[in-house]
């Protein structure tokens, strides 16, 4: 494995519910990303992917609290917890410059009464008070030229841009300060297919140009993930259940949830018309009261007695990590994909 | 370019609205049943005048006020006099010119309303924004109190204040604008006297204005605080102070309309407040004029209100064009 860019250690984030009970949406997650790579983060709705992204971007807001976890990045070790009184002041300088967020749906990401160029200047000045307006705008228009986007968008207001253009503009703003890590939270979900393609090509070009040194790409769009990512991390009920190189996961899933998730998407092949997607039986658990042992066991075809009592530990097979009792008993065996023929 | 077209279209619309308003203003009092001259003359009749003398007086008044002319002629006269700054003579206080009556009442209304509206707007917006930002106990107490003042009928609050501050505590005189025997003039003695009478209606208007603005600002600011751009700006490392300016600019928009509308309707006087405190402003003038079928005064007051509301609204629209690019774009069809 190449040099590590970032490592998030033992990250736990909870939502404080009105009942007074905390709901852990991200539970003791450790995640690593090598320099220059794109890590895909996938899982069903409500599995904690966006919460994990929010915690890493250091913008957790009540009722979400990051209660534990550190982020090693760029030679810094940042305490991600939002519990200390000064957490906001400690985190602010890192936001946008070390870790930046590309938000889900950029439609309302820019204040409607603000010209794009004013936001650009504000972002630059937030990290370096002495930047002049002209310098900030030069930098932005250079970046736009490099990405073959029209520089006139700087003079526009958000409502004057199309959806795809707005999302690409937001991407440019998010990466203006060359952040070490970009967290892209479902950036393509609100776009039509051609805008999706344009955005992904732009992100890949930016990684190529080393504008950012790593990307965490959060989505439930599995075809997009397998196309752009170097590595995948699959989340289930607030935990990472399997990580590894994308082709290893796609071809050789070691966790039954990964296998089930991947089999819920069809690759267009000759016999696609005759295939049926089974989906995953049951529904995601209530995180306020998760199942004992392995959290996936109530929905798992391969569940054994031990699964309902004891939580599986992370195991490694080379550069491929997974937490599953079945996989432990069946080393190097691929989980059979659940596709039936009609 | 968009801005100029936007302004031109707005100006056109407002001129049109003004014409319609002036026509209605002329017609409406004349459509009310009851001829004012009848009222005046029947009043004289009780003094024991002969019917022949009454008829003569009636005809003279009809001629004097131009009521014997056809509607069309009356309208032309009306428009010409407006442009000459002549609003006619009051029926009820004949032959006092209407402009004199207004000149007596308007200062009282302005002195009462301008500080109450501006101060109420500023305090209300700050309170509302702070309540939204701080949340918790702050929010609960500010919001509840504001809601009470905002929802309470004017006369109710005025009467409570009148009873507590004037009758029970005796801090302020209960009504009027100056002491008996005093008369409006530019002297220190008059101002100190009038100030005593000013406080009570001022406080009641101020509380109501604060309440209304705080409720509006609070909900706008809460809405803006939860919006995507706040979260995104935060993720870019933009500081709280800068972000507050974003939030304010967006949350302010409806509040500015509110301010302009209250400034526009202000010249009409705070009708109920003025009546409760027997304050001789435009509200009292209008109320008495309606009771006396005093067309020229009613018309003059409504005309002034109309023009003031139109001007205030026009200013808001122009201001909006500068503040909010979306409005400019959608109104000039630029999209």
Same domain membership, residue B150 and residue B46: no
Domain final residue, candidates B58, B83, B108: B83
Handedness of CA B208, B209, B214, B217 (dihedral sign): positive
| A-chain residues near B221 (CB < 8 A) | none
Query: Is A109 close to B232, i.e. CB distance below 8 A?
Result: yes
Q: Given this model, what pLDDT does residue A85 score?
A: 86
Residues B123 and B57 in one domain: no
Q: Does residue A274 lie within any of the structural domains?
A: yes
**Total structural domains in chain A?**
1
- Note the helical H segments in chain B: 2-31, 36-45, 51-64, 71-83, 98-134, 136-151, 154-161, 188-225, 228-235, 240-266, 271-276, 282-291, 295-323, 325-331
d(CA A79, CA A96): 17
Q: Which residues of B touch A57 (CB under 8 A)?
A: 235
- Say if residue B274 is in the same domain as residue B148: yes
pLDDT in tens, chain A (342 residues): 468 899 999 999 999 988 878 899 999 999 999 999 999 999 888 889 999 999 999 998 888 999 999 999 988 899 999 998 888 889 999 999 999 999 876 778 898 888 999 999 999 999 988 899 999 999 999 999 988 899 999 999 888 888 888 988 999 999 999 999 999 998 888 788 888 888 899 999 999 999 999 999 998 888 888 888 999 999 999 999 999 999 998 888 899 999 888 877 766 666 666 666 667 888 888 888 889 999 999 998 888 999 999 999 999 988 899 999 998 888 888 887 655 554
Assess contact for A13 and A52: CB atoms under 8 A: yes
- Same domain for B53 and B113, yes or no, is no
Say if B233 falls within a structural domain: yes
Q: How far apart are CA A6 and CA B193, in angstroms?
A: 75
Task: State the pLDDT at residue B190.
Answer: 78
Q: Does B232 touch chain A if contact means CB atoms closer than 8 Å?
A: yes
B326: nearest CB among A105, A112, A126 = A112
Residue A168, domain member (yes or no): no
Q: B318 at the A interface (CB within 8 A)?
A: no
Domain of residue B277 covers 98-331
Which residues of chain B are modeled with pLDDT < 70? 1-2, 32, 34-36, 39-40, 42-49, 65, 268-269, 328-335
- Which of B83, B109, B142 marks a domain boundary? B83
- Return the pLDDT at A37: 94
Contact flag A95-B233 (C-beta cutoff 8 Å): no
Q: Tell me the C-alpha distance between A171 and A184, whole Å.
A: 9
The CA-based angle B289-B295-B296, given to 5 degrees, is: 95
Report yes or no: A159 at the B interface, CB cutoff 8 Å: yes
Split into its structural domains, chain B has a count of 2
Q: Flag whether B131 is in a domain.
A: yes
pLDDT at B51: 75
Are B8 and B73 contained in the same domain?
yes
- Do B38 and B71 lie in a common domain? yes
In this structure, is residue B90 part of a structural domain? Answer: no
The CATH number linked to B271 is 1.10.3720.10
How close B141 gets to chain A, by Cα (Å)?
21
Residues B265 and B207 in one domain: yes
- pLDDT of B95 reads 79
Task: Report the gap between the CA of B332 and the closest CA in chain A (Å).
Answer: 14
Q: Do B136 and B186 sit in the same domain of this protein?
A: yes
Considering the domain architecture, whether residues B164 and B67 belong to the same structural domain is answered as no
The reply to whether residue A173 touches residue B236, judged by beta carbons under 8 angstroms, is yes
Evaluate whether residue B88 is within a structural domain.
Answer: no
Distance between CA atoms of B286 and B281, rounded to whole angstroms?
A: 9
B15 & B139 share domain:
no
Cross-chain CB nearest to B246 (options A111, A160, A173): A111
Is residue A220 assigned to a domain?
A: no
The answer to whether residue B163 sits within a structural domain is yes
Nearest chain A residue to B323 by CA: give it. A113
**Nearest Cα to B143, choosing from B159, B154, B132?**
B132
Nearest residue of A to residue B244, measured between CA atoms: A111
**Interface mutation vs chain B, best among A58, A89, A122, most B CBs within 10 Å:** A122
Q: Are B75 and B197 in a shared domain?
A: no
Q: Are A315 and A325 in contact (CB under 8 A)?
A: no
Q: Is residue B143 within 8 Å of B131, Cβ to Cβ? A: yes
ipTM of this complex prediction, to 2 decimal places: 0.88
- Tell me, yes or no, whether B175 lies in a domain: yes
Q: Is A113–B229 a contact, with Cβ atoms under 8 angstroms apart? A: no
Residue B335 is predicted with a pLDDT of 40
Give a yes or no: residue A264 inside a domain: yes
Please indicate, yes or no, whether residues B113 and B56 belong to a single structural domain of this protein.
no
CB-CB under 8 Å, A127 with B250? no
CB contact under 8 A, A109 and B242: no
- The parent domain of residue A277 ranges over 255-341
B330 near A CB under 8 A: no
Q: Is cis: bond before A63, omega within 30 of 0?
A: yes
Asked whether residue B195 is assigned to any structural domain, the reply reads yes
Query: What pLDDT is attached to residue A144?
Result: 93
Whose structure tokens read 């003791």? A28
Any domain includes B17: yes
């Amino acid at each position: 494995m190449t040099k590590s860019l970032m490592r998030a250690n033992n990250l736990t984030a909870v939502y404080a519910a009105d009942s007074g009970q905390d709901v852990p949406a991200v539970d003791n997650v450790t995640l690593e990303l090598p320099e220059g790579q794109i890590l895909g983060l996938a899982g069903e709705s409500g599995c904690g992917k966006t919460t994990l992204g929010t915690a890493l971007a250091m913008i957790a807001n009540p009722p979400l609290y990051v209660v534990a976890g550190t982020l090693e990045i760029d030679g810094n070790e940042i305490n991600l917890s939002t519990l200390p009184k000064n957490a906001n002041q400690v985190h602010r300088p890192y936001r946008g410059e070390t870790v930046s967020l590309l938000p889900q749906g950029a439609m309302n990401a820019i204040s409607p009464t603000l010209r794009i160029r004013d936001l650009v200047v504000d972002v630059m000045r937030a990290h370096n008070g002495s930047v002049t307006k002209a310098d900030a705008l030069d930098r932005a228009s250079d970046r736009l030229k490099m990405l073959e986007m029209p520089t006139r968008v700087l003079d526009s207001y958000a409502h004057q841009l199309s959806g795809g253009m707005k999302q690409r503009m937001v991407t440019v703003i998010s990466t203006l300060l060359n952040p070490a890590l970009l967290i892209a939270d479902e950036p393509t979900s609100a776009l039509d297919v051609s805008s999706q393609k344009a955005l992904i090509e732009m992100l890949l070009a930016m990684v190529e140009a080393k504008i950012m040194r790593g990307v965490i790409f959060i989505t439930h769009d599995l075809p997009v993930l397998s196309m752009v990512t170097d590595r995948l991390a699959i989340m289930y009920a607030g935990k990472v259940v399997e990580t590894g190189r994308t082709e290893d996961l796609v071809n050789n899933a070691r966790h039954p949830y990964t296998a089930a998730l991947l089999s819920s998407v069809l690759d267009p092949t000759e016999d696609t018309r005759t295939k049926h997607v089974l989906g995953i039986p049951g529904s995601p658990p209530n995180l306020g009261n998760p199942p004992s042992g392995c959290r996936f066991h109530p929905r798992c075809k391969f569940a054994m007695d031990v699964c309902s009592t004891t939580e599986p530990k992370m195991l490694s097979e080379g550069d491929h990590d997974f937490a599953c009792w079945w996989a432990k008993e069946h080393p190097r065996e691929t989980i059979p994909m659940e596709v039936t023929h009609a | 370019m968009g801005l100029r077209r936007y302004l031109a279209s707005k100006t056109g619309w407002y001129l049109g609205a003004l014409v319609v308003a002036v026509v209605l203003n002329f017609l409406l009092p004349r459509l009310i049943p009851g001829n004012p001259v009848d009222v005046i003359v029947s009043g004289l009749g009780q003094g024991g005048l002969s019917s022949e003398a009454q008829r003569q007086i009636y005809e003279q008044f009809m001629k004097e006020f131009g009521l014997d002319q056809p509607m069309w002629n009356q309208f032309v006269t009306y428009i010409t006099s407006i442009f000459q700054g002549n609003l006619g003579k009051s029926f009820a206080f004949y032959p006092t010119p209407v402009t004199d009556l207004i000149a007596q009442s308007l200062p009282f209304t302005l002195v009462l309303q301008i500080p109450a509206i501006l101060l109420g707007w500023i305090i209300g917006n700050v309170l509302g924004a702070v309540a939204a930002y701080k949340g918790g106990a702050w929010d609960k107490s500010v919001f509840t109190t504001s809601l009470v003042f905002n929802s309470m009928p004017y006369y109710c609050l005025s009467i409570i204040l009148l009873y507590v501050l004037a009758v029970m505590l005796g801090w302020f005189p209960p009504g009027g604008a100056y002491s008996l025997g005093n008369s409006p003039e530019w002297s220190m003695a008059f101002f100190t006297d009038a100030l005593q009478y000013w406080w009570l209606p001022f406080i009641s208007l101020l509380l109501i204005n604060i309440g209304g603005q705080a409720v509006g600002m609070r909900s706008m600011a809460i809405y803006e605080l939860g919006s995507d751009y706040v979260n995104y700006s935060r993720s870019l490392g933009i500081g709280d102070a800068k972000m507050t300016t974003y939030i304010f600019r967006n949350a302010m928009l409806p509040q500015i309309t509110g301010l302009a509308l209250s400034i526009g309707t202000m010249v009409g006087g705070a009708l109920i407040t003025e009546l409760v405190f027997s304050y001789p402003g435009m509200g009292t003038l209008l109320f008495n004029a309606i009771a006396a079928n005093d067309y020229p005064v009613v018309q003059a007051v409504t005309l002034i209100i109309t023009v003031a509301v139109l001007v205030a609204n026009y200013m808001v629209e122009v201001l909006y064009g500068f503040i909010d690019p979306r409005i400019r774009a959608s109104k000039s069809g630029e999209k």
